[in-house]
Chain A
Amino acid sequence: MQARGVRTVSFYGLTWAMPMVLWQLVFFVFPLCFLLALTFWLVRNYRMVPGFDTVNWVKMYSRGYFWDAFGFTFTMALLSTAVTSILAFPCACALAFRTSPAVRRWAMFFLIIPFFTSYLVRAYSWQIFLGDTGVINGLLSAVGVGPWPMLNTRFGTLIGYLTLSLPLVVVLQLFSLASVDRNLVEAAWNLGCGRLKAVFVVIVPLAKVGLIIAATFCFILSFGDFVSPYYLGGSKPPTLSILIVDTTKSGQQWPRAAVVAVTMIATLFAVAFTAVALAYRRRA
């Protein structure tokens, strides 16, 4: 613990540094390590027994439904990332380049509120709109079309993922776009670059890091969520997080749920590292 160049470990410094380290080691790192150990435990007579056996890994990895769930979860999370990023971008652009700082502050203000406001109820409330007799199909039937099934479909799941991550992605994109040097954009215009072309040739490359970080957060949130695929997607087919919930809640097969969990964490790390590498890659 050094205070601005002083090479001593002080009691004062440790007092401030240690609470977080202790708490996170005991209640964050340790449970996750325990989860990893749990994947090697055995279940005998409906009770978990400590052990070191790869049977849970073999069992889970040889099941077709596990890989189906993995593929589905990964694809849906990628789709959600693409759709959310694309839908958020014009909004973030408009807020970054076409509004006064005051409007931008208020927009941030109103986007941060829902991010911290009961996602569970927000996702569920979409049933009011998406149900077969819900608001949207009600309006559609008034003009003589429909009903279109939207609940318990992939579209429903996607709406839920958007509900979860759209506000955050707009805010993160807005941050990175706001730091783009406007002089460079105007220089491109003056040199005859069209408005739309300038977006893709100047703005997107300059804001690349922030845009990729926003997309990564969207992927992480969508990949791990179980509310949208369950309540809006009808759990058909189940995602990995639904698999964890079902396996855990239905009995003592926690070691198998732990296998799914560890696989998910490994996948998220791989995706996050790839994304960071992509974000900071120098142009050839």
Chain B
Amino acid sequence: MSAERATAWFLRGYVVVVFAFVFAPIAASFVFSFNSDRFPTLPLGHFTLHWYETIFNDPDVWEAFANSAIVSACTAVIATFIGFCTAYTDYRFRFFGKSAYLGLALLPPTIPLVIMGLAMLALLSRIGMSGRLDSIIVAHVVLCSPFAMAVIRLRLAQMDPSLEAAAWNLGASEWQAMGAVILPFTAPAIVAALCLTAAVSFDEFAVAWFVSGLNKTVPVIILEILQGNVDPQINAIGSIVFITSMTLVVVAQILIMTKAPRRA
């Protein structure tokens, strides 16, 4: 069976190559953020923290991180609330036009971000709301709530539907059952959705670029630095961005993977 073994080794190697391709840019960004040379060439120069010092002393970068923190925190809370409402509605109710309802909930990620950015900019500038942080938040909630909904819906799918009904039969009102049964059960998914939506918002550059005006977020200043010359500051900012969003996504995934406790 040597052909079989050759195939097995080929596929194993292939998977490794795919993962290397996916993670190469992230790794390169880390490595070159500590590299002294201005231009990314091999062999590497010497180790330096210069690029981190540069961005550390740049008030614009600080302001951008503060803006991003505000935007992604607010987006996460609102998007997760909306995602929860939508997921619960899908789980609990059947009604006329439900597929249209779900379509409306899940459609936003399929619209190119540039187009969302242009549409938001055109509308918001018409009503005098463009260039503010809340205009970015408003648009980010649209983009993020489908992810929150998906995460919380997955969790609800693991729940025994008779649990809620049992609470009603024991005398709880619908609201009490929500507080005593549904919310505790979905709590891990809610935290996961908060992390995931915060990560998506923290990384989103196109819509933020269109509507941000002077209130720039981190991806927007990255975009603006990119339009100038080669600047290894990008690698330093990028590495911080990677660490932030990867941490959020990892936490979200660990929470999603923790299985519901089995019934005794």
Binding site for B on A (CB under 8 A): 1-4, 10, 12-13, 15-21, 23-25, 27-32, 34-35, 38, 87-88, 90-91, 93-95, 98, 105, 107, 109-114, 116-129, 131, 133-135, 138-139, 162-163, 166-167, 170, 195, 220, 223-227, 231, 241, 244-245, 248, 254, 257-258, 261, 264-265, 268, 272
Contact = CB atoms under 8 A, between A and B. Distances in A.
Interface in B223-253: 223, 226, 230, 234-235, 237-238, 241-242, 245-246, 248-250, 253
A111 B107 CA distance: 23
Nearest to A221: B112
Given A133-B39, A167-B22, A120 B139 contact: no
A24 B253 CA distance: 26
B199 A117 contact: yes
8 contacts: A20-B101, A24-B104, A29-B104, A120-B222, A121-B234, A126-B25, A163-B22, A264-B115
A16 B112 contact: no
Contacts of A20: 82-83, 85-86, 89, 101, 104-105, 145, 149
B22 A114 contact: yes
B142 A23 contact: yes
Nearest to A12: B174
Contacts of A133: 39, 41
A34 B234 CA distance: 36
Given A4-B94, A35-B122, A118 B238 contact: yes
A116 B85 contact: no
A16 B89 CA distance: 6
Given A3-B92, A121-B242, A163 B101 contact: no
Interface stretch (B4-12, B45-53, B55-63, B183-191): B4-12
Given A13-B89, A118-B219, A163-B25, A124 B18 contact: no
B205 interface: yes
B226 A124 contact: yes
Nearest to B96: A2
B15 A94 contact: yes
Given A24-B105, A116-B196, A125 B121 contact: no
B111 interface: yes
Residue of B40, B81, B88, B257 contacting most chain A CB atoms (<10 Å): B40
Contacts of A163: 22, 25
B42 A261 contact: no
Nearest to A15: B85
B180 interface: no
Interface residues of B, number: 85
Contact of A17 (B101, B219, B250): B101
Interface of B: 4, 7-8, 11-12, 14-15, 18-19, 21-26, 28-29, 32, 39-42, 81-83, 85-86, 88-89, 92-95, 101, 104-105, 107-108, 110-116, 118-123, 126, 138-139, 141-142, 145, 149, 174-175, 196, 199-200, 203, 205-206, 210, 219, 222-223, 226, 230, 234-235, 237-238, 241-242, 245-246, 248-250, 253, 257
Contact of A125 (B28, B141, B219, B223): B28
Given A128-B29, A163-B22, A167-B22, 20 more contacts: A12-B174, A13-B93, A16-B92, A17-B86, A23-B82, A24-B104, A32-B119, A38-B122, A95-B15, A107-B19, A109-B253, A114-B22, A117-B199, A118-B241, A121-B238, A129-B25, A170-B18, A241-B112, A241-B114, A254-B118
A120 B22 contact: no
A79 to B, nearest CB: 17
A245 B121 CA distance: 12
Given A27-B142, A226-B114, A139 B15 contact: no
Given A20-B85, A105-B257, A166-B21, A3 B223 contact: no
A27 B174 CA distance: 30
B204 to A, nearest CB: 9
Contacts of B82: 19-20, 23
Contacts of A167: 22
Contacts of B95: 1-2, 17
